[in-house]
Amino acid sequence: MVSNRTLQLMSKLFTAILYLAISLMAFLIDFPFYPAPVALLIIAVTTALAYSGHVKLGFAIMTVLLIPALLYAYEYAALGVLFLILILFVLIRVFDWLGVGVGMLAWEFSVMPNPLYVLSVPIILTSPSLTIGVSRRVTPLKSLITFLILYIPTLLLLNANNIVPWFGYVGLNLSPLQSLTANSITSALGNINVGLYGLSQSINRVFTWTSTYVLPAIMALTAYTAYVISSRLRSHDNKVIRYLAPAIGTMTAYALMTYLLFYMNPYFGLYQGVDVNTLMHGLLPALIISLAILPLIMHFRLVEIKFEQEEKQSMIALERGYQLILNKDELRSLASEWDNVVGLDDIKNEIETSVITPLKDVKLSQKYGLMPIHGVLLFGPPGVGKTMLARAIAGRLGWTTIIMNLGELLSKYYGESENRLAELFRVAKNYAPTVIIIDEFDAIGKARTKYVSDDVTPRLLNILLSEMDGITKSSENILVIGTTNQPDLLDPALLRPGRFDKIIYVPPPNEETRAKMLEAMLRGKPIQGQLTMRSLLR
């Protein structure tokens, strides 16, 4: 399992590398305007901002600095350039950084010198695989939408001066300024034209091609096909199939695109506006990207998305009055508390034998005809380590852990406490296998005869009993651990079979155990003179 720190570092590196590639191509290859030292400084600032998490700020700076570079490239249609810049600002505002980043990367490849421009379509057809497992608001077509929104205005700009087909070779033949002096900038941008006439002519050229309407729909269909196939195969049990999922999805999308172009061309004349060779030359790069690069990025993205979802769910859990522990590092920290529970070796052996082992090795339990345990009650005097032992059990199992805060669970609003308890069990089922720890269990498990009819606690107890019965009937991997100082106050219904099947007494430590506890607490700390632990207890 990747640690939080490593995951955050990988996320920063992934974002930085993506925007390094975008700014590198924008300022050095596609639209070289600034002298090399200035361009490298812009690239470094953009990359550093992306790495530090300020992606939108870096994107905004890059976009503003692209204005003179784009005017330098398309000086015959300045109005179209400003429209393109406006689109860039809107995209980063509306879409997520990944969709805009990958779409912009494909757009930049589309206007690169030969032969790199053939990479734009492979990037578009492989990018939907990156969105597997993300939330609904991030669609698999965002990168394609970004690309089309940028590429169609670029086609208009290009056709204001030359006739350029869809996905055809574009040769801008630009060279950067030698210096940023007033004379050099004035000379470079001195022939700027608003370009109304050229743009109107280019609109007639571009939008009279049927491909302007049909080809984006074909690309959307094939990109979504790649997403569906990749996502289905990513859930397969076979590791090889999961690894090949992006390649299979991409190649299927390419085959579908080729078939649709060939089949629909007689009806729509698609070849009038499409350089088919460009599309076909991208087949090999698409295969390489989907086999060598995407599986690694996809694995990282899925882990990152899972981490983000866990963080979000944990924040919701705290607001709802309980602690949700999903991270494996935190669970390992809980497991380490097992060794800190000293002097209870007999109890720990009993728990290991009758609770942990049967739950972790279900097949072995079934061979011996053992029923799974869904409830453990730890009782004993205050301060003997019941809560620590409960947390250690959860850590040893390695299951998702929910620690209920009874103070936060109770609400002054009628019915709210019951809803929170029911929601807690719904979350436990969603993240099963799960351990639910309820400290001071007698606060909600007290006998119902001790309350008036309208008290909230009996209603909570009824919900708890119903949920525990449901766990037993459905044989779900959920373990409820309760701790209490007053077991005699508990409702007898809790102790029936199928609820708290295992009841364990945790005794106070004797003199020998207290000596071991002191020794453990003082281990590694400076001690003056010769001290024995037993002497401190006298």
pLDDT tens digits, residue range 460-475? 777 777 777 777 666 6
358 touches 365 (CB < 8 A): yes
pLDDT band per the 50, 70, 90 thresholds, residue 94 = confident
Q: Count of CB atoms within 10 A of residue 109's CB? A: 24
236 to each of 70, 129, 177, 208, 338, how far by Cα in Å?
A: 46, 15, 54, 45, 36
What's the whole-number mean pLDDT along residues 3-13?
67
Q: Count of CB atoms within 10 A of residue 64's CB? A: 12
pLDDT band per the 50, 70, 90 thresholds, residue 1 = very low
Task: Indicate the average pLDDT of the chain.
Answer: 76
More confident of the two residues 317 and 55 = 55
What's the whole-number mean pLDDT along residues 515-532?
67
Please check the confidence at residue 258 and state whether its pLDDT lies above 70. Answer: yes
pLDDT at 135: 47
Place of tokens 């929601």: 423
pLDDT at 41: 93
CA 289, 290, 292, 294 dihedral sign is positive
Strand-pairing partners, residue 402, are: 324, 436
More confident of the two residues 514 and 55 = 55
CA 331 to CA 348: how far, in whole Å?
18
CA 420, 424, 425, 427 dihedral sign is positive
Pairing of strands 375-379, 322-325: unpaired
pLDDT at 137: 44
CA 450 to CA 458: how far, in whole Å?
9
Domain ranges of the chain: 4-178+187-308, 320-507
For residue range 368-387, list pLDDT tens digits in order.
Answer: 666 777 788 888 888 777 88
Instruction: Please report, as a single letter, which amino acid is at residue 180.
Output: L
Please check the confidence at residue 187 and state whether its pLDDT lies above 80. Answer: yes
Contacts of 221 (CB under 8 A, 6+ apart): 256, 260
Classify residue 509 by its DSSP letter. Answer: P
pLDDT at 118: 72
Rg (C-alpha) for the chain, rounded Å, is 32
Strand-pairing partners, residue 437, are: 403, 481
CATH class of 320-507: alpha beta
Contacts of 238 (CB under 8 A, 6+ apart): none
Please check the confidence at residue 49 and state whether its pLDDT lies above 70. Answer: yes
pLDDT at 40: 92
Backbone angles phi, psi at 3, to 5 degrees: -70, 160
For residue range 284-331, list pLDDT tens digits in order.
Answer: 777 777 777 777 666 666 555 666 666 666 565 555 566 777 767 677
Q: Count of CB atoms within 10 A of residue 490's CB? A: 21
299 touches 234 (CB < 8 A): no
More confident of the two residues 281 and 392 = 392
What's the whole-number mean pLDDT along residues 395-419?
73
